[in-house]
Amino acid sequence: MIFGTTPLDVAKGAVLAHSIRRGGVAMKKGRRLSADDIRALSKAGIEEVIAARLEAGDIDEDTAANAIARACQGNGARLQEAFTGRCNLYADGPGIMVLDAARVDRINRIHEAVTIATLAPNEAVEAGQMLATIKIIPFAAPQDAVDQAIAIASDNDRVGGALVEVAPYRARRAGLIMTTLAGTKANVLDKTANVLRDRLERLGSALEDEQRCAHSADAIGAAVQAQLDQGLDPILIFGDSAITDRRDEVPAGIEVAGGVIDHFGMPVDPGNLLLLAHKGDTAVIGLPGCARSPKLNGFDWVLQRLVADRPVGRDEITAMGAGGLLKEIPSRPQLRAGDNAQIAPRAPRIAALILAAGQSRRMGAANKLLAEIDGKAMLLRVVEATQASQISKIIAVTGHEADSVVSALKAYGVGTVHNPDFADGLSTSLQRGVSGLGADIDGVVVLLGDMPRITPSHINRLIAAFNPVEGRAICVPTYQGKRGNPVLFAASFFAEMAEVGGDSGAKYLIGQHEDVLVEVPMDDDSIFLDVDTPDALTAIRAAGID
């Protein structure tokens, strides 16, 4: 890759290393310069730029990141297309992060342009949580480095699995045994059972049976056998008095039922006094006292792995020490039950707002949104593209001929918001739509119902670019340097969007917030095509959608 001061006569196709704002020209870092861009720069009196030019043997950052990420991707991991050389993998559902850390290290040692960062192995993850990010250090990577990374990441057969995957939780029917001594309070046992029940339910499992018995080996053995007979797994035992030795009452009771003690103690604090045992294929666990609390402790790590069918034995327990200090200290607060804080970044929840309220005056009497192209209504083509994308929620704003539009949308399960003031301009539909998005949405893609060539790829590319933390809060699609639609806005703009006026929609926001705007290059000019007139409809019907 050639990097540095680049004369304009050799700058076509180069990638800007720094943003330019001069003489009426505004071009952002990362822009691939077109012939039109070169002419605009020259007209502004700019003779050279700081840019990167790819050479033979280089792969551009997005292509390289996508290729490596696909090689890393295993079951339960979802890929988001790369943008600015970063490709993220997200969890499809809850489970345990399964990672080959040795291969991650090998990839990171190939070349400084190729990097991969991941969550820790065996970490519990939620749906949408980020698992890994593959980043190409701008703006390209050598072909041989990318090929090596792909080869290492794809070496699944030899090492027994994909580099990054999620082991999903499998619903279990668990049993709980609690022992009692003189003076044991029933309300304490009730609270303990509720905490365990909540832990299991968060992992998709259930507490099927609870037994309370005397704190003796024989009573514990009988209770364990009763739950084994019910086919419960795992069986969890709380002793009224903490386990202090392998020969204590709880482990002795497990052995009375024919169980085998695998390991006592764990290098995790809190959680030291956990006892791991089994009877046949059934896990039996003597619980540490800290498991009576909803706070994170060593038992959580064991339970999560059991429910995800991940190995958990003596070797796995003794390997938990590095990172096993979970005790709450002032500099490291722990999450409480009910906290909404994210342990790791997650995929953004992006809604789609499809504006379908206009009167289409230029089209004549017909409602253009319901006009068919290749046998399907124009609006429904936009809906299908949106549903096939990574959009989390879809709302269509109706107005003109609302009943007909709602009827057409009914089979697609799309939510609608009616705008009775649709005749007052596009802004009224935007206001109504934004008000119906909800507080759990991170951003919204505003789509026009008369753009039938918009595809899932266009929408996903905008979502891949979206990152308000890195200054990309408004994502605008471009083709050959010209801006089009749809546009993605961060939730931080919802209040302003609810106050826009006239028929320009949220266009003024783009001009007001150029500092957090990113232009997202697209591969075709579909982002410009809206069907406003009978002639335009005739033309697209003749040409077809593809």
Helix H segments across 30-167?
Answer: 35-43, 61-72, 101-108, 143-153, 156-159
Closest to 114 in 3D by CA, of 30, 58, 164? 58
CA distance 432 to 395: 10
- The rounded distance, in Å, linking the Cα atoms of 183 and 339 is 34
Residues 303 and 179 in one domain: yes
Q: Which domain holds residue 35?
A: 2-53
Domain count, the chain: 4
pLDDT per residue as tens, the chain (546 positions): 999 999 999 999 999 999 998 888 888 888 889 999 999 999 999 999 999 999 999 999 999 999 999 999 999 999 999 999 999 999 999 999 999 999 999 999 999 999 999 999 999 999 999 999 999 998 999 999 999 999 999 988 765 689 999 999 999 999 999 999 988 899 999 999 999 999 999 999 999 999 999 999 999 999 999 999 999 999 999 999 889 999 999 999 999 999 999 999 999 999 999 999 999 999 999 999 999 999 999 999 999 999 999 999 999 999 999 999 987 654 444 444 444 444 467 889 999 999 998 776 666 556 889 988 888 999 999 999 999 999 999 999 999 889 999 999 999 999 999 999 888 888 889 999 998 888 889 999 999 999 999 999 999 999 999 999 888 999 999 998 899 999 999 999 999 988 877 666 677 788 889 889 999 999 999 999 988 888 888 888 888 876
Alpha-carbon distances, residue 183 vs 187, 188, 189, 214, 388 (angstroms): 12, 11, 12, 12, 61
How many residues does the structure list for the chain?
Answer: 546
**Residue 279 and residue 373 share a domain:** no
**Same domain, yes or no, for 138 and 183?**
no
Both 13 and 92 in one domain: the answer is: no
Residue 330 domain-assigned (yes or no): no
Structure tokens at 465: 């670019």
Query: Does one domain contain both 137 and 216?
Result: no
Residue 339: predicted pLDDT:
42
**pLDDT at 361 (0 to 100):** 65
Structure tokens at 1: 């890759």
- Counting DSSP H helices and E strands in the chain, the numbers are 17, 30
Domain CATH number, residue 188:
3.40.980.10
Q: Are 356 and 470 contained in the same domain? A: yes
Write out the H or E segment, with its range, that includes residue 461. Answer: helix 456-465
CATH number at residue 445: 3.90.550.10
Contact 416, 395 (CB under 8 A): yes
| Residue 35: per-residue pLDDT | 92
Confidence at residue 129, expressed as pLDDT on a 0 to 100 scale: 95
CA angle (381 as vertex; 379, 386 as ends), nearest 5: 100
64 and 41 within one domain? no
In the three-class reduction of DSSP (H, G, I as helix; E, B as strand; rest coil), residue 412 is classed as helix
The enclosing domain of 136 has a CATH number of 3.90.1170.30
- The dihedral formed by the CA atoms of 317, 323, 324 and 326, expressed in degrees to the nearest 10: -150
Q: What CATH number is given to the structural domain containing 12?
A: 3.90.105.10
Q: Which residues lie across from 479 on neighbouring strands?
A: 482
User: In the structure encoding, which two tokens stand for residue 352, read together?
Assistant: 């789609």
Distant-in-sequence, close-in-space partners of 17: CB < 8 Å, separation ≥ 6: 3, 29, 49, 50, 51, 52, 138, 139
Distance CA 196, CA 203 (A): 11
**181 and 204 in contact (C-beta within 8 Å)?**
no
pLDDT value for 340: 40
Shared domain check, 41 and 68: no
Q: Which pLDDT value is given to residue 183?
A: 87
What token pair was written down for 439? 């507080």
| 3-state secondary structure (DSSP) of residue 53 | strand
- Percentages of the chain per state (helix, strand, coil), in multiples of 5: 35, 30, 35
HSE value, Cβ hemisphere, 13 Å, CA-based, for 406: 12
Contact 489, 497 (CB under 8 A): yes
Q: Rg (Cα) of the chain, in Å, rounded?
A: 29
Handedness of CA 135, 140, 141, 143 (dihedral sign): positive
436 and 298 in a common domain:
no
